[in-house]
Amino acid sequence: MTMVKAIQFHKTGRPSVLKWEEVKLGKPKKSQALVRHTAIGLNYIDTYQRSGLYPLPMPSGLGGEAAGVVEAIGADVKHVKVGDRVAYAGGGPGAYSEARIMDANPLVRIPHGIADEAAAAMMLKGMTVEYLIRRTYPVKAGQTVLFHAAAGGVGLIAGQWLDALGVRAIGTAGGPAKVKLANAHGYAEVIDYNKKDFVKEVMRLTKKEGVPVVFDSIGKSTWEGSLNCLQPRGYMVSFGNASGAVESFAPGVLAAKGSLFLTRPSLVAYNSTRKELEASSKALFTMVKSGKVKIEINQTYALKDAKKAHIDLESRKTTGSTILIP
């Protein structure tokens, strides 16, 4: 039995519930792998799980994205081997650890030319962008779209990817520094929501036509405004709750605003098979290796300081991607 250090929490709440503790590791079962982490991704969903918005059985580990090296595998694992550099997004909470035993299915090999740190920072955010703009709403060159939180980890990848596809992306961000950052990552226009009404700005920028799709990870505070930015029969893609969960509403609202479509997609549902996972990660790795998408790691914390990382993330002090180092 091996002992490793990991972030654990025994009750939900503020970042102060996160504890740096020793945990036991056994041996991988048939479909499992032991991964020694080299870098761990920080994502907003981690705060939802810690706060109790997305409930987990207690006590629990945290984190669903990391990169590392395979140290052992179960008898049924064929797609990775001992010594492989791997990354993953999924497999249940537990990435905030020096090492873990996990279901091997989410593991993908990291190609040459991509560092572990970049892989840990890109998997969840990058594959989220992939399914949003290629499968949830397949964008087309020449279209104009609205993407909220343009200076966040998902937003910076999305801006570059959309630009590479010939899509005019309008972004929103809070404050001059974040606006400047988003502008440097593919967005044609970026609206500072601290200074301007983003609905009025979108209508001005689209000559009152609106956009065919809004990608919204903010949730409660942008919900109604996002609907008001859409063209008739437009798509509202709600994929996060950074400002809180959207309140209940009558479906008739969608009819009243132009027969709108609404979807609440998740990475788990879009990469539910090995084939989908491999196709999604391959598309992401291809974009990064081509140089069309650059992964911005703007904050690095020691894993034991995950509490501070959560405080900064929820205070909107971070930009781009953040990683934790064991």
Q: Which structural domains are found in the chain, ordered by start?
A: 2-123+295-325 (3.90.180.10), 141-264 (3.40.50.720)
- Average pLDDT of 175-194? 95
| pLDDT over 90 percentage in the chain | 88
Q: What pLDDT is stored for residue 316 in this prediction?
A: 82
Phi, psi of 90 (to 5 degrees): 130, -175
- Average pLDDT of 193-220? 95
Tens digits of per-residue pLDDT, 19-28? Answer: 999 999 999 9
Q: What pLDDT is stored for residue 142 in this prediction?
A: 97
pLDDT confidence band for 320 (50 / 70 / 90): confident
Q: What pLDDT is stored for residue 181 in this prediction?
A: 93
What is the DSSP track for 11-80? Answer: S-SSGGG-EEEEEEE----TTEEEEEEEEEE--HHHHHHHHTSS--PSSB----EEEEEEEEE-TT--S-
Mean pLDDT, the chain, whole residue set: 95
What is the DSSP track for 295-308? Answer: --EEEEEEGGGHHH
Tens digits of per-residue pLDDT, 37-70? Answer: 999 999 888 999 999 988 999 999 999 999 999 9
pTM of the model: 0.89
- Average pLDDT of 267-280? 95
| 30 has pLDDT over 90 | yes
Q: What number of other Cβ atoms are within 10 A of residue 192's Cβ?
A: 16
- Average pLDDT of 295-324? 92
pLDDT confidence band for 5 (50 / 70 / 90): very high
CA distance 40 to 88: 10
Q: What pLDDT is stored for residue 247 in this prediction?
A: 80
Tens digits of per-residue pLDDT, 109-153? Answer: 999 999 999 999 999 999 999 999 999 999 999 999 999 999 988
Q: What pLDDT is stored for residue 213 in this prediction?
A: 98
The tokens describing 245, both together, are 């969960």
Counting Cβ atoms within 10 Å, is residue 203 exposed (0-12), middle (13-18) or buried (19+)?
middle
Give whole-number Cα distances, 140 to 184, 212, 314, in Å.
Answer: 22, 11, 33
Q: What pLDDT is stored for residue 95 in this prediction?
A: 98
3-state secondary structure of 322: strand
The tokens describing 212, both together, are 């065919």
Tens digits of per-residue pLDDT, 216-257? Answer: 999 888 989 999 999 999 999 999 877 777 788 889 999 999
Q: What pLDDT is stored for residue 260 in this prediction?
A: 97
**1: Cα separation from own chain's centroid:** 33
Cβ-contact 85, 67 below 8 angstroms: yes
Cβ-contact 210, 229 below 8 angstroms: yes
Q: What pLDDT is stored for residue 254 in this prediction?
A: 95
Q: What pLDDT is stored for residue 58 in this prediction?
A: 95
Q: Would you tell me the crossing angle of helices 44-51 and 306-314 to the nearest 10 degrees?
A: 100
Residue type, 303: L
Q: What pLDDT is stored for residue 220 in this prediction?
A: 87
| pLDDT over 70 percentage in the chain | 100
CA distance 147 to 154: 10
- Average pLDDT of 205-211? 97
Residue type, 75: A
